[in-house]
């Protein structure tokens, strides 16, 4: 029953907004040209799916996002752990990480086009840059925040450097690392849509841009809603993965 109540509490407000939007559009309270009814948007999504156009754009965005998130997660985790475990590495990398953190990542795209050519590698690197910084900073803070008593106890029991990393630092840091991963995925979705708007001929960002330029309003809403749905599904998937890998963080419901 708790699960049903949770679903109801999560769904009632979006459902109420959708119903209000539908009724307002049909009654002419809002301009249907700019605020088409949700049923009209769904019909457009069905038509775009039937023709394969929406599926094509979605797959292209998913491939770009998956490659960028994988690269950002691996590189950010390695960088953050090394910075947290070694003061020398921290002092060497901190200026670069700080500078990259404050740099708008979309501004890197023209430079990347010059360095690696106009194509997918430049787009993926630009998207990965934003996620990399977030994962690295959260991993760094997580390692630095590990309870020193745990480390001392492991050392007293004869744990070596690698055992400390594997048995103490990583398990203790995992909750904050997952927080960084969720934020990084959200940032990467924003970046991949932005990169597709300014430089790509396919993907959800391109779909949104072309629809806006041609006043295909229903198609525009479909693209935006698909991007939002992509973010919601990614967040929920990471929550489930976190619950499986970090069960001591996720509270269990009683009953």
Q: How far apart are CA 40 and CA 190, in angstroms?
A: 26
- pTM of the full predicted structure? 0.85
Percentage of the chain exceeding pLDDT 70: 95
Residues 6+ apart with CB under 8 A from 35: 21, 24, 25
Structure tokens at 90: 């921290």
Q: So what's the pLDDT on residue 61? A: 95
Q: What pLDDT digit, counting tens, does each position of 65-117 carry?
A: 999 999 999 999 999 999 988 889 999 988 888 888 888 888 888 889 988 88
Q: Contact 217/34 with Cβ under 8 angstroms?
A: yes
pLDDT of residue 79: 92
CA 235 to CA 9: how far, in whole Å? 18
Q: What mean pLDDT comes out for the span 186-214?
A: 93
On whether the 66-245 domain is CATH 1.10.3720.10, my answer is: yes
Q: What does the pLDDT look like over 30-43, one tens digit per residue?
A: 877 788 888 999 99
How far apart, in Å, are the Cα atoms of 100 and each of 37, 71, 180, 182, 202? 42, 16, 16, 20, 28
**Measured between alpha carbons, how far is 252 from 142 in angstroms, rounded to an integer?**
23
Give the total residue count for the chain. 255
Q: Is the dihedral of CA 71, 74, 80, 86 positive or negative?
A: negative
Q: Is 36 helix (H, G, I), strand (E, B) or coil?
A: coil
| pLDDT of the residue at 148 | 79
> Around Cβ 26, how many Cβ atoms within 10 Å?
13
Unique residue bearing structure tokens 């840059």: 129
Residue 20 corresponds to which tokens in the numbers above? 């209000």
Q: What's 63-95 look like in SS3?
A: HHHHHHHHHHHHHHHHHHHHHHHCHHHHHHHHH
Tokens coding 63: 């491939």
Domain ranges of the chain: 66-245
pLDDT tens by residue, 115-124: 888 889 999 9
């Amino acid at each position: 029953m708790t699960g049903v109540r949770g679903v109801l509490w999560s769904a009632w407000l979006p459902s109420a907004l959708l119903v209000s939007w539908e009724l307002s559009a049909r009654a002419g309270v809002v301009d249907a040209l700019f605020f088409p009814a949700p049923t009209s948007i769904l019909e457009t999504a069905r038509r775009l799916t039937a023709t394969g156009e929406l599926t094509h754009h979605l797959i292209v965005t998913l491939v770009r996002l998956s490659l960028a998130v994988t690269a950002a997660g691996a590189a950010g985790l390695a960088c953050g752990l090394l910075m947290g475990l070694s003061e020398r590495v921290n002092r060497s990398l901190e200026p670069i990480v700080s500078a990259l953190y404050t740099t708008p990542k979309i501004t890197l795209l023209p430079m990347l086009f010059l360095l690696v050519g106009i194509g997918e590698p430049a787009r993926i690197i630009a998207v990965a840059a934003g996620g990399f910084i977030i994962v690295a900073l959260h991993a760094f803070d997580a390692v630095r925040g590990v309870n020193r008593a745990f480390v001392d106890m492991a050392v007293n029991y004869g744990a070596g450097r690698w055992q400390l990393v594997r048995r103490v630092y990583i398990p203790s840091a995992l909750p904050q690392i997952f927080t960084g991963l969720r934020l990084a995925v959200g940032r990467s979705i924003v970046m991949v849509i932005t990169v597709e708007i300014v430089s790509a001929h396919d993907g959800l960002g391109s779909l949104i841009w072309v629809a806006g330029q041609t006043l295909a309003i229903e198609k525009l809403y479909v693209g935006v809603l698909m991007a939002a749905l992509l973010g919601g599904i990614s967040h929920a998937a990471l929550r489930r993965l976190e619950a499986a890998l970090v069960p001591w963080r996720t509270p269990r419901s009683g009953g």
